[in-house]
A and B are shown apart, each in its own frame.
Chain A
């Protein structure tokens, strides 16, 4: 049962434009959400996170938005750079249940065109 869903498996965007990645979840107990970036043959690299008490978190070019009522979060990358070309994973955990394990989406391939 996929608790974290990422649709639109791939995204192509011009350098300098905005990349928007979306993620939906089904478990209402999730209270901590993360985005990871993954290059081939490497492990996922942590990008940005947000706890359920917030609706926005920003770090440089990366902003994560959380809509708890819709069980939806998104990652905005602006401006997109060629080095951003990678697979992006959305992940979530239910920390207040004492459960720190992450549930992952299947990932989105992003290609930034120079």
Chain B
């Protein structure tokens, strides 16, 4: 498809387990972002990849969170030793790396920690 694709769409796991979330950006978009949305809240920035530059990790809430991106394509967000407060919708977005270009979002992964 032409849009941002995320998988899985839903993930339920037990506290303490590790989870890996995947994002396929729009082809040609060199910028990729991860956000999360907790219940009743706005979106919170997590991490930003742009080409070969070092990622901006300033939004990651703890060292249990990490993300990687292979070239200018797929990205994975990993949460280790999950906690109940990690329950949220995790959203990926991509954009062209130009001024005044909107970010386009996938449908997210709904993560529930039991």
Contact = CB atoms under 8 A, between A and B. Distances in A.
Interface of A: 4, 32, 34, 36, 41-46, 49, 51, 89, 91, 95, 99-107
Contacts of B45: 101-103
Contacts, number: 59
Nearest to B97: A100
Contacts of B108: 43
Contact of A95 (B35, B41, B42, B99): B99
Main DSSP-derived SS at the A contact region: strand
B104 to A, nearest CB: 6
Chain B interface size range: 20 to 34
Interface string B99-114: 1101111111000000
Contacts of A91: 43
Interface in B30-46: 31, 33, 35, 40-45
Given A32-B100, A101-B45, A104-B35, 18 more contacts: A4-B42, A36-B105, A42-B107, A43-B105, A43-B106, A46-B104, A46-B105, A89-B42, A100-B48, A100-B50, A100-B95, A101-B33, A101-B59, A102-B45, A104-B42, A104-B44, A106-B40, A106-B42
B42 A45 contact: no
